[in-house]
Amino acid sequence: MKDINLVIWDLDGTKYKHHDHMQDIFDNTIVEVVNKVLRDNGADPLPHQEIKEQAHQSFLDNGLSWKFFSEKYALDPHETFKTYNEMMSLNIVDSAPSKNYKAQIQNTKKIGIEHIIYTHGSREWAKRVLKKIDLHEEFADDTIFDISHTQWALKHTSIDSGYQKLIALRPFEPKTTVMVEDTERGLIAAKDMGLTTILIDRDKAHKKAPSHVDYLYNCPEEFLHAVLKENQKSET
Ligand SMILES: [Mg+2]
């Protein structure tokens, strides 16, 4: 990580820790969202359990809980995406990070490393989250890219992946770029493109990094500490 000049951050679960009851909050939100969008489109609402199960499956299949409903009921993806992100509760975001986190990001910027966010949530959601964890001043609007900007291209699909759409919007050199994610599959296409891949493993589920993951850290602060330390070494 000595010569990096760009960090691409996933947002949810990566930049912050999810609340312990995140799944319940999340399930309730997706049920409300799907039924709201169905009603708005003149369709009948669906039972709670059915939505919950299909949303879980949709997430496993394509990384987006709402996508199944958008396709099955021919709902406008932009509308569904917007409603979903507007209704998601900030309660899924656990404790605010340490003060050191913000300082670490500022310090990496001082040595020429830029930071952007690439999320499957919306830019508006990202801004709300970043404000809650006090990092909003470090991420201007034009440093936040969401899945609607990449024309619904997912990060983990290796053909025509979101990263290829992202690079067209915000050019970067894969060799000097790192991608930080909390899911293994979000890093597969990144590795294929030649980015350095970082997995944030908060639950310490991995004894060693999977083959497409270059570095494993327990939290973003640990990753940033390593970047700063490495750079100090390279300067001496
Ligand atoms: Mg994530």
Structural domain containing residue 49: 22-92
Q: Give pTM, 2 decimals.
A: 0.92
Q: Look at residues 57, 92, 127 and tell me which one is the last residue of a structural domain.
A: 92
CA of 15 to the centre of ligand 1 (A): 8
161 and 87 in a single domain? The answer is no
CA of 19 to the centre of ligand 1 (A): 13
CA of 120 to the centre of ligand 1 (A): 8
Kindly give, in sequence order, each residue whose CB lies less than 8 Å from that of residue 103, ignoring residues fewer than 6 positions away.
none
176 and 199 in a single domain? The answer is yes
55 and 144 in a single domain? The answer is no
- For 102, the token pair is 């913000």
Q: Is residue 1 one of the residues assigned to a domain?
A: no
- Single-letter code of the amino acid located at 44: D
Q: How far apart are CA 88 and CA 106, in angstroms?
A: 29
How many domains are contained in the chain? 2
CA of 111 to the centre of ligand 1 (A): 27
What string of pLDDT tens digits covers the 236 residues of the chain? 788 999 999 999 999 999 888 889 989 999 999 999 999 989 999 999 999 999 999 988 888 899 999 999 998 999 999 999 999 999 999 866 677 899 999 999 999 999 999 999 999 999 999 999 999 999 999 999 999 999 999 998 887 899 999 999 999 999 999 999 999 999 999 999 999 999 999 888 888 889 999 999 999 999 999 999 998 766 54
Q: How far apart are CA 158 and CA 36, in angstroms?
A: 33
Q: Look at residues 92, 111, 132 and tell me which one is the last residue of a structural domain.
A: 92
CA of 43 to the centre of ligand 1 (A): 31
Burial, 28: exposed, middle or buried (Cβ in 10 Å; 0-12, 13-18, 19+)? middle
CA of 90 to the centre of ligand 1 (A): 15
CA of 38 to the centre of ligand 1 (A): 27
- Single-letter code of the amino acid located at 154: L
48 and 110 in a single domain? The answer is no
32 and 46 in a single domain? The answer is yes
CA of 146 to the centre of ligand 1 (A): 12
113 and 131 in a single domain? The answer is yes
10 and 35 in a single domain? The answer is no
